[in-house]
């Protein structure tokens, strides 16, 4: 969607982006605090998550959660919140005609929560149910266990359930006071935002009743460690094999490196004609397979993962090894790169069709390090990717030999160790 972006830095320390999308019929709000689990002791791990649940409840304006939600949603507005290792993000979307009412309600919930005992007890139970539901997802269980093994600040849902009884209502209140300050706050608001609305929103946020605080809280230092042997989680009820294969680089990528890695990732797994997934499906080895990359403050990560029947796993791992080996050698046809660029360009254009999609294109990076992406330069960045850049960043992701394999199923550790042996040469 056609839009312009304006960053505001307010006197209370809050910072954010106001994205003007003329004639938009909805408005979206994302309000972020550096307030995730890394800030609490492991024994109190669930404190931020429960706090996030309780916060969008009773407040000084409306002293009961259900009444607050009824008022918030009466014209079809939507609200939600999410907690991760690093951040808590509160979000809302509403019709344009009630943007000011919803903005006021959302900011009231964030700045004037009551944290009632009865709502703490209720949401404590709801979080247990949520974690129990998530703990049944084998892919999630493996992913979290593997991240923990690499040394990142995460816990599996099973461990979180075991620790949750340690969290008390005073823990919730203390964590709120520590993290919900104006200078630790970032926001992205998108919709029809002419200058007068931008001024009203900036004034509303500048006048919130939060302590100014001491600035944006620092992200943790996390240096991934290589795994000397596979992480294997035995589950006799699982007949196929879940796996993730991860490799790390001990620094954040430059934008041009991330662009190149994104393109080769597309070429390897993102389509049914891709080099790994397409070939594997052609041989009837696997229904689906994914890969992607991510970054923390100190590292970059590229992963590959799937579910596969054990009898098909060696052949799939051989395809992974062969195709990555060809990339390292630079055996990429120019027309294949051009095709991947066209795919990436189409995906980029689809991503910005909605107000929320446009906001999301800015929020992730902005909340991470205050960087403002230039949305309109993305086609130019895609076009600038070369074979040489693809080969270099692909090799660099394997050069430091920080890697590991994780698997969940009933195949046994020797079987998974044999799969590790199949791919170990990629790091040599």
pLDDT in tens, 273-301: 999 999 999 999 999 999 999 999 999 99
Q: Sorting pLDDT into bands at 50, 70 and 90, what band is 353?
A: confident
**Which residue from 348, 355, 55, 322 is spatially nearest to 176, judged by alpha carbons?**
55
Using the predicted structure, report yes or no on whether residue 1 has a pLDDT greater than 90.
no
**Starting from the edge strand earliest in sequence, which strands make up the sheet with 78-83, in order?**
4-9, 15-20, 185-191, 26-33, 88-95, 78-83
- Asked whether residue 303 falls in the same domain as residue 359, the answer is yes
Can you tell me which residue has the tokens 């054990």? 310
Radius of gyration of the chain (CA): 23
Please check whether residues 189 and 245 belong to one and the same domain. Answer: no
CATH number of the structural domain spanning residue 59? 3.30.830.10
- 79 three-state secondary structure: strand
CB within 8 A of 273, min separation 6: which ones? none
Asked if residue 226 belongs to a domain, the reply is no
Q: What is the pLDDT of residues 143-183, one digit of tens each?
A: 999 999 999 999 999 999 999 999 999 999 999 999 999 99
Distance separating alpha carbons of residues 9 and 15, to the nearest angstrom: 5
Residue 241 and residue 200 share a domain: no
Whether residue 28 is contained in a domain is answered as yes
Last residue of a domain, one of 206, 223, 251: 206
- Per the CB < 8 A criterion, the answer to whether 105 and 71 are in contact is yes
Domain span at 28? 4-206
pTM for the predicted model, two decimal places? 0.94
Same domain, residue pair 264 and 169: no
- For the cut 90, the answer to whether the pLDDT of residue 346 exceeds it is yes
Residue 214 is assigned to a structural domain of this protein: no
Per-residue pLDDT at 349: 87
pLDDT in tens, 254-266: 999 999 999 999 9
Residue 360's contacts (CB-CB under 8 Å, 6 or more residues apart) are: 351
Kindly write down the DSSP assignment for every residue of 109-128, as one continuous string: HHHSB---HHHHHHHHHHHH
Q: Where are the alpha helices (DSSP H) in 136-254?
A: 138-150, 157-163, 169-179, 195-206
- The DSSP string of 260-271 is HHHHHHHHHHSS
302 found inside a domain: yes
Please tell me whether residues 145 and 250 are part of one structural domain. no
For residue 47, report the phi and psi dihedrals to the nearest 5 degrees.
-55, -50
Give yes or no: residues 97 and 187 share one domain.
yes
Could you identify the residue written with the tokens 């969008």? 56
User: What integer pLDDT is reported at residue 351 of this predicted model?
Assistant: 83
Q: Is 223 domain-assigned?
A: no
């Amino acid at each position: 969607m056609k839009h312009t972006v304006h960053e505001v830095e307010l006197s209370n320390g809050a910072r954010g982006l106001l994205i003007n999308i003329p004639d938009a019929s909805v408005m979206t709000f994302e309000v972020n605090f550096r307030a995730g689990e890394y800030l609490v002791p492991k024994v109190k791990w669930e404190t931020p998550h429960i706090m996030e649940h309780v916060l969008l409840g009773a407040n000084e304006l409306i002293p009961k959660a259900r009444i607050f939600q009824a008022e918030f949603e009466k014209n079809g507005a939507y609200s939600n919140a999410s907690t991760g290792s690093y951040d808590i993000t509160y979000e809302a979307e509403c019709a344009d005609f009630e943007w000011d009412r919803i903005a006021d309600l959302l900011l009231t919930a964030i700045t004037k929560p009551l944290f009632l005992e009865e709502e703490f007890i209720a949401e404590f139970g709801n979080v247990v149910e949520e974690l129990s539901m998530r703990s049944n997802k084998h892919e999630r269980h493996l992913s979290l266990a593997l991240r923990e093994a690499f040394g990142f600040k995460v816990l599996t849902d099973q461990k979180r359930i075991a620790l949750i009884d340690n969290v008390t209502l005073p823990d919730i209140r203390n964590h709120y006071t520590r993290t919900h300050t104006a200078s630790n706050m970032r926001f992205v608001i998108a919709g029809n935002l002419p200058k007068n609305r931008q001024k009203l929103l900036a004034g509303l946020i500048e006048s919130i009743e939060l302590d100014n605080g001491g600035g944006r809280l620092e992200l943790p230092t996390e240096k991934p460690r290589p795994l000397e042997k596979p992480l294997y989680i035995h589950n006799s009820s699982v007949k196929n094999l879940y796996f993730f294969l991860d490799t790390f680089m001990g620094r954040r990528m430059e934008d041009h490196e991330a662009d190149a890695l994104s393109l080769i990732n597309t070429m390897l797994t993102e389509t049914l004609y891709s080099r790994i997934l397409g070939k594997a499906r052609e041989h009837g080895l696997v229904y689906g397979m994914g890969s992607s990359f991510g970054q923390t403050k100190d590292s970059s990560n590229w992963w590959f993962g799937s579910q596969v029947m054990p009898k098909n796993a060696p052949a799939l791992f051989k395809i992974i090894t062969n195709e990555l080996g060809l990339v390292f050698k630079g055996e990429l046809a120019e027309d294949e790169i051009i095709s991947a660029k066209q795919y990436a360009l189409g995906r980029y254009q689809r991503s910005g069709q909605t107000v929320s999609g446009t906001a999301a294109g800015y929020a992730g990076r902005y909340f991470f390090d205050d960087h403002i992406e230039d949305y309109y330069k993305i086609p130019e960045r895609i076009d600038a990717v070369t074979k040489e850049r693809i080969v270099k960043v692909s090799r660099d992701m394997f050069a430091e030999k920080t890697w590991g394999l994780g698997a969940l199923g009933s195949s046994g550790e020797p079987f998974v160790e044999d799969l590790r042996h199949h791919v170990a040469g990629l790091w040599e």
